[in-house]
Structure 1
Amino acid sequence: MKNQRIFPGIILLGFGAYFYLQQSGFTALQPFYSWPTLLIIVGAAFLFQGYGARDYDSILPGIILTGFGLHFHVVNRLKIWPDHIGTFILIIALGFLLRHQKTGAGLFQGILFLILAVLLLFYDRVAEWMGLLENGVSDVWQFWPVLIMLIGLYFLLVKKK
């Protein structure tokens, strides 16, 4: 019974503190009175549920929501932080890998998302390193999204024996 009270307890504490500080006019936290902070609060509640209550399936949504919230806070404040779709995929990969650490499930998905994130974040460097731009292979390289879709269709349509 105690385990089912962690998530709503953290949500109520977090939202209550958020709205109290917002209404009180506490200006030191003014940049944090935005929707990404609410994502972080909900994500933290999932993480407390996941790790504190040993409900390990809550780790994935906790990492995703917390990571997305942190991303939206940091992206305009740190010049080194990438504003790229690969960042979101990297956060999802981290969620799968941390959940795998506790449940043993999701390693394949985590590695798949991690490879995709690295390809997206470092596409220019990977293409330069492999010499794709010089060899005329760059035209073929444009169709890698189609390859990803074909692999996805394979997973959807081919049944395990």
Structure 2
Amino acid sequence: MKNQRIFPGIILIGFGAYFLLQQAGITIFQQFFTWPTLLLIVGIAFLGQGYSAKESEAILPGVIMTGFGLHFHLVGKISIWPSNNIGMLILIISIGFFLRFQKTNAGLFQAFLFLILAVLLLFYDKITAYFDLLQNGMSFVWKFWPALLIVVGIYFLLKKKK
């Protein structure tokens, strides 16, 4: 990291505030004394490093950690927030790749790949209901889509660069 002051500065301020409020015993903040809050603090530190210090590679872990922290705080507390954890977590990763792509022009394929996977997982019930209307031929393909992901992943690992 080129500029070493932003990330540790945000970490120290965030953790200091977290532990100070915890020691003060203020009941209003009691629900925030959990590990998702610590994820949020570290994620915000990465985002600060990524945007303020112009270190674009810190954007992806920043979005992932901040998004995961927010997700675990909001799930079950806000009725419209999806409780499908894995689909939502993959959507957060996709957003991270899109934001990193915005700064680096790299990772657009991964962003779309994660976005498609997230949509499939978040709307699995609706998609399977739709495919049931298309008859059993598609349901066979739908049953084995995880194996298709594995095969495509192996292809990318073994593909030779030109």
TM-score scaled by length of structure 1: 0.94
What's the offset of the Cα at 1:126?
2.3
Counterparts of 1:15 and 1:8, CA distance in 2? 10
1:30 aligns with 2:30: yes
| Partner Cα distance (1:83, 1:157) in 2 | 36
User: What is the aligned residue count?
Assistant: 159
| Separation of aligned partners in 2, 1:140 and 1:37 | 41
How many Å separate the matches in 2 of 1:52 and 1:4? 11
Cα deviation, 1:50-97, whole Å, max 9, x if unaligned, reads 001101110000000000000010002012211211000000000000
The root-mean-square deviation of aligned C-alpha atoms, in Å, is 1.4
Structure 1 Cα separation of the partners of residues 141 and 47 of structure 2: 42
Q: Tell me which amino acid in the other structure corresponds to 2:92.
A: I
Structure 2 residue aligned with 1:78 = 78
Q: CA deviation at 1:125?
A: 1.9
Match of 1:126 in 2: 127
- In the other structure, the counterpart of 1:109 is 110
Question: Identity of aligned pairs, percent?
Answer: 65
Structure 1: 4+ residue segments shifted above 6 A: none
Corresponding residue for residue 53 of structure 1 = 53
Q: Which runs of 5+ in 1 are unaligned?
A: none
Secondary structure, aligned partner of 2:83: coil
2:91 alignment partner in structure 1: 90
Structure 2 residue runs of 5 or longer lacking an equivalent are none
Answer with 120-129 or 19-28: which moved more. 120-129
